[in-house]
Each structure stands twice: as C-alpha cells, then as structure tokens.
Amino acid sequence: MTDPDTTAPTYADILAAAARIAPHAHVTPVLRSRAIDALAGCELHFKCENLQRGGAFKFRGACNAVFSLSDADVARGIVTQSSGNHGGAIALAARLRGGRAIVVAPHNTPKVKLAAIRAYGAQIIHCEPDQASRDAATAQVLAQTGGVLVHPFNDPRVIAGQGTATLELLASAPSLDAVIAPVSGGGLLSGTAIAAHGHDPDITVYGAEPAGAADAHDSLREGRRITGRKADTVCDGLRAELGSLTFPILRSHLRDILLIDDRQAIAAMRLIWERMKLVVEPSGAVPLAAVLAHPALFAGRRVGLIVSGGNVDLDLAAEWFAPNGA
C-alpha cells in the first residue's frame, strides 16, 4: 500500500484547502462556557467539529482530498481505512463527487459510525482492529479494485484539510496562547499545528491522548515511531498509530502530548453534554480532559480546544454515564 505523497503540507496548502472545501464544509461555531472556564482556571474556546458534516472534523480532510482528485481517479473508486468518522466522511465526499467509496473498517467500529458509512453509499470491508490488519486489508482492496487510496491521516491533502478547523478557530479567537487537539494517527494534530504556527509561531500546541493508546506520546518521548501496539480505550477514534508523515510533523511542532485515562475522558464528555448541551463523543472530549488533568499548564491562559466529533452510540453512552461505567 502506497501513500500519495510524503511531503508535509504547508500553511499555504491549508489556505488552499479552505478555499477548496468552502462550498461543501460547514464553518462550525467556536463556543464558550463560563462554568467550565471556572472549573479549568483558564479561558477555553471550543471549536465544535461535532457539528461538522458527518458529525466530525474528518469531512474537512476527506473533502479536500477527494475534490483534489482528477475525474479519472474518482472514476477508479476511492479506498480508505477508518475506525468510523473518516469512513463516513470519505463516503460523503465521494458521493458529492459522483464517485464510489470502499471503506476498510475494524469489526469493533461503533454501529452508529458504520450506519453513517452505509447511509452515504459506501461499501464496508471488515478487518481486525490492529493497524497491521487495517493496512493489509486496505492493500488487498486496492489490488483487487484498482482504486485510489485516500489515507485517513498519512496524506498531505487530508492533513491540510484538517488544518482548516484551526484556521477558523483562530479567525474567531486570534490571540490564543495554546491549542489542543486529540491525536490518533496524527492527521488532525499535524494540520492543527501547521495552521496554528502559520498564524502565530508563539502559539503552544499540545496533543491529547488516552493512556490506553499512548503510542503517539511514547513515540515522541523515545524519538522513534512506535507501531504494533493494541489500543485499549473507549475513545474509538483514537486507536490508530502515527504515520510516517505525521510523526516528523509532530516532532517539529508540538510542546507535548498530554495523557488522560478513560474515566477522565468520560467525565469531560459528560461535562460538555451537561454544561454546553453538546453531543460530543469520548475522543472529542479528550482535549478538555487534558486541560482539567493538567491545570498548572493552562492556568490563566487562553486555550483553543478542537472538539473533534460527536458520533456517539447512545446505548454505550448510557453505560458510560452509569455510576459504575467507564
């Protein structure tokens, strides 16, 4: 399986992506909560990508990549791998281009995310949850179909598209001290960092990651890309590992990756639901969980949080919010 390019996108690429996706993507709101600010001890600006088309930021990168393709490439069919949100985003973007999509998805992908992929008209091929199985199944589909790969994070077109969320965040709140985004394969966080430092090199950029899927945190600490681990977290959108393209971007831009546990993610998710009346999935609540878990880092600062998605299996949410839940 080959990636389309190994060159990191630039700030100019993110600006171009913003123009390309403007007819299709939502400009999502940046919201505040005085109650949560008081709990956190800082000023928080929530970039609500849970209100994006498809329910997640993933539509930005998928749209930029798919609308960058030639008509001939679209006609070949678009292939991707996804734990849910990217698959739905590719399916929607392919439908808008008049193409077809095939999504390789782990068998433990939440039902609500699989339903969205099907509703947008894509075919689903199931695989085991680990990254090696995802890659092998994707390579097999590409060989069988002759389709075009749009990788969920190790693709400069996708990274540039994801960075447009931070462009909008900084247009609304131009003088932030720090920005935090979740990290899985690193596409969102890479785009966030490039956009933030293109706007202001002095902005501090953090990643936020579940301790049960801490390969990105450990990769940066050890100075090498760690692969092959099995993730164990309720944050189903954060179970991938850093790519060969995203790892060096994050090494050059990040201050740190902050770890939280699943209970902290669910508590932050519940806080957003209760105080802001927003449906956010566990992965999207991880940045807030990181701020609450590391108050000294953010005390008195103006902080932007990328709320990455809101595709929640409500049956699971009932379990998570139960007294003895996650």
Between β-strands 302-307 and 43-48, what pairing exists: parallel, antiparallel or unpaired?
A: parallel
The tens digit of pLDDT for each residue in 81-112 reads: 987 889 999 999 999 999 999 999 999 888 88
Last residue of a domain, one of 124, 149, 174: 149
- Confirm whether 257 is domain-assigned: yes
Structure tokens at 52: 């994006």
Confidence check: pLDDT of 326 > 80: no
In the 8-state DSSP scheme, what is residue 309? B
Question: What's the pLDDT at 2?
Answer: 45
Q: Mean of the pLDDT values across residues 253-274?
A: 97
Same domain, 51 and 68: no
**SS3 state at 193:** helix
pLDDT at 325: 64
- Following DSSP, what letter does each residue of 30-99 receive, concatenated? EE--HHHHHHHTSEEEEEEGGGSGGGBTHHHHHHHHHTTS-HHHHHH-EEEE-SSHHHHHHHHHHHHHT-
pTM of the model: 0.93
Mean pLDDT of 215-244: 94
Reported as a pLDDT band with limits 50, 70 and 90, residue 249 is very high
In terms of residues, how long is the chain?
326
Same domain, 169 and 76: no
pLDDT tens profile 122-166: 999 999 988 889 899 999 999 999 999 999 999 999 999 999 999
**Residue 44 to residue 304: CA distance in whole angstroms:** 6
Does a structural domain hold residue 4?
no
Burial of 217 (0-12, 13-18, 19+ CB in 10 A): buried
Same-domain status, 75 and 135: yes
Expressed as residue numbers, the domain containing 90 is 59-149
Give, for 259, the enclosing helix (H) or strand (E). Answer: strand 256-260
Judge whether 76 lies within some domain.
yes
Do residue 110 and residue 229 come from a single domain?
A: no
Could you tell me if 195 and 124 lie in one domain? Answer: no
Do 40 and 100 lie in one domain? The reply is no
Question: Do residues 192 and 293 share a domain?
Answer: yes
Same domain, residue pair 133 and 213:
no
Same domain, yes or no, for 251 and 226?
yes
Q: Say if residues 166 and 187 touch (Cβ distance below 8 Å).
A: no
Q: How far apart are CA 292 and CA 290, in angstroms?
A: 5
Q: Specify whether 228 is located in the same domain as 276.
A: yes
Q: Phi first, then psi: give them for residue 215, nearest 5 degrees.
A: -65, -35
Query: Domain holding 99: CATH number?
Result: 3.40.50.1100
Q: What are residue 79's DSSP bridge partners? A: 102, 149
Complete edge-to-edge strand list for the sheet that includes strand 78-81: 123-127, 101-106, 78-81, 148-149
- Is 181 in the same domain as 302? yes
Residue 168 pLDDT exceeds 50: yes
Model pLDDT for residues 37-49, shown as the tens digit of each residue: 999 999 999 999 9
Q: Are residues 18 and 167 in the same domain?
A: yes
For residue 298, give the amino acid letter: F
